[in-house]
Structure 1
Amino acid sequence: MICDFPLFLATWNASQGQTTPRVHMKIAKWLQKEQAVPSPRLLLMAFRSCGKSTLVGVFCAWALAGAPDTRILVLSADLALARKMVRNVKRIIEKHPMTRHLKPEKLDQWGSEKFTVNREMELRDPSMLAKGITTNLTGTRADIIICDDVEVPKTSDTFEKRMDLRERLTELDYILTPDGMQLYVGTPHCWHTIYADAPRAELGEEICFLDGFQRLVQPVQTAEGQSVWPERFSVQKINDILKKTGPAHFTSQMLCQPMNSLDLRLDPSALQFYDDDISYREAQGKCILSIDGRELASVAGWWDPAFGKAGGDRSILAIVYTDKTGEYWLQHIAQIKIDPASQKDEATQQCEQVAEIAKRFFLTSIALETNGLGKFLPNILRRELGLSGATCSVREITSRKPKATRIMEAFDAPMAARAIHVHRSVLTTPFIKEMEDWRPEKRGGHDDCLDAVAGALSSQPVRIGTFPAENTARQWVAIRPRTQAKTDFDV
């Protein structure tokens, strides 16, 4: 029977002329404890240069020494990184006094990407196999899966990459044996990290990605600011790293706290999310609208039209309310689409949809961006608004500022004040994705939802006195009641 893992680790370090630091012993004891439970699901987050991957390699050698029939799959962001761990485990098996007997005689069983130790069972899969996260894993089986640095900048710096990474990692449940062990090793590289300990509401998450995993988070410093490995990372060394890398990178990589490592101008975590729909009531001869208990004072609807064809710009309508405290409520984003099989022309189809939405959300005015396609639409939209019975005017807007400037000016102040509330239905649109990927200097890519919301935020909200002349519906926008002054003169 093999010894406990902390002793196995200390023996290996001693054979290499090294001592075992206290932080490594802490991790070793944690691994020893957690691997003994049925179907262990583990996450080890430890600061950069902690030696966590090397330590996990020693753990793999220990697991094979205790159960040679074990099959281990190592997944990394790329194959080269996974190979490093496999090679490390091979060297440990060759040189550790407790594992030398595991090395096979046949060299074809001792490769750089996979190897098979001396074992009793005849199994199709090797004892240890290295794979990149983007490779095909169909048909692979493993008793232990090590996800070693699967989240790195090149797998997490855009929304699409983060979603693709999550999708690939969910496939591991079909590879792992029923009582198998799964161990994630790494540091967070973005706010929407797979290692987050709380769900990201802005992504529509109800549980975090690694929900149910036992976690060990090991930052380089204690809460009192003392180094957990003073022999290698003195306080001065830690401060030097902070100065060199900056606070965001230091916080994520050395303190293991998710941060936006890139300089995001629009951070979705600053948004406030809500579920309530608009509440309608009548009082004192007028309509009153409210959301989440807040009475609404004004509304802005912004339509940035396009043909809505695949590959081109999207035709987007954004609706933003303002409450009496001045905070914003992004209630709805609609992508206006056309039906190629319809007998009606594309402009009429789009204007019909916008008119129905205007009626549904009590819009009193729509700002229509007339750059390009929009200059043909105002009269058609007015016609469809009249046919639908919506008491809503049309304001023609020509955008003269660069798009990046419009977006920054619209979002900067309210986001800094955390004054933008977003209905959860908006999570089904590309809005959050566009926020995450947007950069002022970036060219190309979609930002249609972002641009429409920016227009609604920055446009002058419609208040009382600016309704269409033909409007006979009850007015809901906040105004002062009319008063008549008494006079003592005749005209």
Structure 2
Amino acid sequence: MSEKDSGRDPVGFLVFFLVWAKRRNWTVPDIHVRAAIWLESRGDLAVLRCFRGFGKSTLLAVYNAWRYYRDRTYRILHQSEADGTAYKTSRDTQNVLRNHPLTQGLLPPGQGTVEQWWIDGAADARNASMYAKGILSNVTSARADECQNDDVEVPRNIQTPEAREKLRYRLGEQTHILVPGGRTLYVGTPHTHDSIYDEMEALGADCLTIAMFDHEYRIEDASGGMEYFLPFVPEYVFSGIGKSARLLEPDIDYMLSQDASIRFARPPSGLLDFYAGCAWPERFDRAELLKRRRKTRTVNEWDSQYQLHSKPIGDVRLDPEKLRAYAVHPRMELANRAWRMMLGQVQIVSARAYWDCALGRAGGDASTLSLMLDDAAGNIYWHVCEPLIGEFAVFSDSRNTMITSGQVMQACALIEKFSIPNVYVETNGVGAFVPQLLKQALKQERLRCGVTDVPAKGAKNDRILAGLEGPLKSGVLWAHIDVLDGPLWDQMKDWNPAVKEQPDDCLDSGAGAILQAPVRIGRAVSEKDGIPAGHRGEDWRPNGGVFEVTLEQ
């Protein structure tokens, strides 16, 4: 019989947890006290983010037993990344119920299985007190007072946008499983840049985040000398990640001053991480932290699993944060009796566009046109990354004499708007007939622009890396804010060179444009009614050479 049924006031979760900890001879750290207080008072939609090794599933099992201690009719749907993982917490909850001084007798023998079971006094014969399943298992017919998601976001179910969408669909089922007034709890560590935990927080969830360290500061590439100024006095200084990681020793590898500056005994190089305020120093001492740092493969994995930053655990080969944003459009100027194209205060010396053709239909690959501009210093400006939608060409009559709409007309509008001198059209697959259609549309619109057929060769992922990785890491690749506001950012974050089928239309188009030789403009783009449009007939290029292109007459 529980204390509630005996007429005495039931205890809160912190007391319940401390009684169990004493029985198990645990030393309870402050972070577990903090989490226990939060679990009892949290809102109906809540997120507990905590570092790896925190003991969150153990804490959750004690919490579940306390819920049944308070209310024998309480029903919990507990879901994890797989059935087997969910069963562990279910089994652990049973162990607490059998052995906690306040719940002995609540779990009768022979009631159900580890997947679903009923406590003594449960009022719903159809829905168990505890129903444990993997997040991708079918639980449609269940009903629950609380849905728990314990580490449902793991690498195997968030590798691609489609996998993350499937995970969100399964999580959405809980909306219909919960009874009115029900509660939802997410517990775990983020594994991707668009983590479900961030999504829940944006929806107004009650959140508690406990990272391994309270304070952190990073120098990506220490090459600025022997001394650095820091925003706090560090207690831990790591260099590198993985097998080469080191935990530097104070007074041997570095010296600290009272103004939070650090001076190294020898010039450092590479990655430096500075931390202070370890959440659980008794368990995670310096030796344990160094061991974990050396077993962590990437900086992203360390950041996500221990500092709870929403990042994919693997390396991001094409990090969009390395793109340099700008917000101006090119303009034409007359200087020294010569026209020139300017982008802000920078003179543009060449341009090139690349069209990665696709049918442009919903659910399929996007048909994307990218425009790259270059300055004399070697900077590359990704000025256009535009999806083209619909049929390649729509004609006004059965004889195909006049194109009225379609992707080629959308391409013509971009060519005229940005004075694009030449378009490379990828002719693999459905793009085989596009160059001829585009030439017809250009002639019809009286636009002078070269069209070059490009049969793509080799693996697409290799081409993307060849085109984008070098300029990105070198810091010479810029992107207009309109490009960054499109699908490019997420495609770069999600892109995995080991995955063949993934959203990469922007990347393929942009890489194709970078890999092509620059084309300089020497003739007017628009000659409607026989009159050059404005200053477009002027040659804005510096005299640095001539490139021969074929123009449709």
Please indicate, yes or no, whether the TM-score normalized by the shorter chain is above 0.5: yes
Contact 2:392 2:407 in 1 (8 A): no
Alpha-carbon separation, structure 2, partners of 1:110 and 1:402: 53
Q: Retained in 2: the 8 A contact 1:278–1:289?
A: no
Specify the alignment match of 1:320 in structure 2: 371
Q: Write the distance in 2 (CA, Å) between the matches of 1:256 and 1:387.
A: 56
- The one of 143, 155, 159 equivalent to 1:157 is 159
Correspondence for 1:421: 480
1:473 aligned to 2:527? no
Pairwise CA RMSD: 4.1
Describe how 1:88-127 pairs up with structure 2 within 5 A: 88-104=92-108, 107=110, 109-119=111-121, 121-122=123-124, 124-127=126-129
The aligned residue for residue 26 of structure 1 is 34
Task: Tell me whether 1:211 sits opposite 2:203 in the alignment.
Answer: yes
- TM-score normalised by the chain length of structure 2: 0.71
Structure 1 position 160, deviation (Å): 1.2
Match of 2:356 among 266, 282, 304: 304
Q: In structure 2, do the counterparts of structure 1 residues 214 and 286 end up closer, same or farther at CA, with 3 Å as the change threshold?
A: farther
State the distance in 2 between where 1:481 and 1:270 align. Answer: 29
| Higher deviation after alignment, 402-411 or 131-140 | 402-411
Matching residue of 2:139? 137
Flag the 1:311–1:146 CA change in 2: closer, same or farther, 3 A.
closer
Instruction: After TM superposition, give the deviation of residue 420 of structure 1 in Å.
Output: 2.5
1:181, 1:368 → 2: CA distance?
54
Residues 1:148 and 2:176 aligned together = no
TM-score normalised by length of structure 1: 0.79
Secondary structure in structure 2 of the residue aligned to 1:419: strand
* Aligned mates of 1:465, 1:22 — CA distance in 2: 71
The residue type paired with residue 135 of structure 1 is S
The answer for the alignment partner of 1:358 in structure 2 is: 412
Residue 458 (structure 1) aligns with: 515
Q: Which letter maps to 1:238?
A: L
Q: C-alpha distance in 2, partners of 1:467/1:458?
A: 25
Q: What does 1:163-202 correspond to in 2, within 5 Å? A: 163-196=165-198
Q: Partner of 1:5 in structure 2?
A: 13
Q: Which of 209, 213, 227 is equivalent to 2:278? A: 227
Given that 1:321 and 1:331 are in contact with CA atoms closer than 8 Å, whether structure 2 keeps it comes out as no
Equivalent AA in structure 2 for residue 195 of structure 1:
Y
Amino acid at match of 1:266: L
Q: How much identity, in percent, do the aligned residues show?
A: 31
**Aligned residue-pair number:** 461
Ranges in structure 1 where 5+ consecutive residues have no aligned partner: 197-206, 483-491
The 2-side partners of 1:32 and 1:354 are apart by 61
What amino acid sits opposite 1:423 in the alignment?
A: D
The change in CA–CA distance for 1:52 and 1:289 in structure 2 (over 3 A counts) is farther
Cα 1:186–1:124 shift into 2, 3 Å: same
In structure 1, C-alpha distance between the alignment counterparts of 2:399 and 2:28, rounded to whole Å? 75
Equivalence map 1:260-275=2 (5 Å)? 260-270=312-322
Mapped to 2, the partners of 1:371 and 1:126 lie a distance apart of 56
CA distance in 2, matches of 1:182, 1:137: 15
Relative distance call for 1:236 and 1:478 in structure 2 (3 A) is: farther
| Secondary structure of the structure 2 residue equivalent to 1:240 | helix
Q: Deviations over 1:249-303 (max 9, x none)?
A: 22221222222312231234545789x8979999999999999x89995653312
Q: 2:238 maps to which residue?
A: none
Partner of 1:395: 452
User: Structure 1 residues 233, 176: CA separation in 2 closer, same or farther (over 3 Å shift)?
Assistant: same
The CA distance in 2 between the partners of 1:256 and 1:315, in whole Å, is 33
CA drift of 1:238 comes to 0.5
Task: Give the distance between the partners of 2:122 and 2:430, measured in 1 at CA.
Answer: 73
Alignment partner of 1:14 is 2:19: no
The offset of 1:320, in angstroms, is 2.1
Q: Is the 8 A contact 2:45 2:206 kept in 1?
A: yes
Alignment partners' CA distance in 1, 2:313 and 2:126:
42
Q: State the match for 2:293 in structure 1.
A: 242
- Partner of residue 485, structure 1: none
Higher helix share: 1
Letter in 1 for 2:480: H
Q: 1:255 aligns with which of 301, 307, 319?
A: 307
Q: Aligned to 2:47, which of 19, 43, 47? A: 43
3-state SS in 1 of match to 2:173: helix
- Alpha-carbon spacing, 1:389–1:280, altered in 2? closer, same or farther (3 Å): farther
User: Is the strand fraction higher in 1 or 2?
Assistant: 2
CA contact (8 A) 2:333 2:342 kept: no
The 1:470–1:154 alpha-carbon spacing in structure 2 relative to 1, beyond 3 Å, is same
Contact 2:151 2:188 in 1 (8 A): yes
1:323-363 Cα deviation digits (max 9, x unpaired): 877532234122564699998699x9899632442224444
SS at structure 1 position matched to 2:307: coil
TM-aligned CA distance change 1:286 to 1:101, over 3 Å: farther
The letter of the residue matching 1:359 is A
- Contact 1:338–1:350 (Cα < 8 Å) also in 2: no
Q: Which residue of 1 aligns with 2:226?
A: none
Change (3 A) 1:295 1:67: farther
Report SS of the residue matched to 1:368: strand
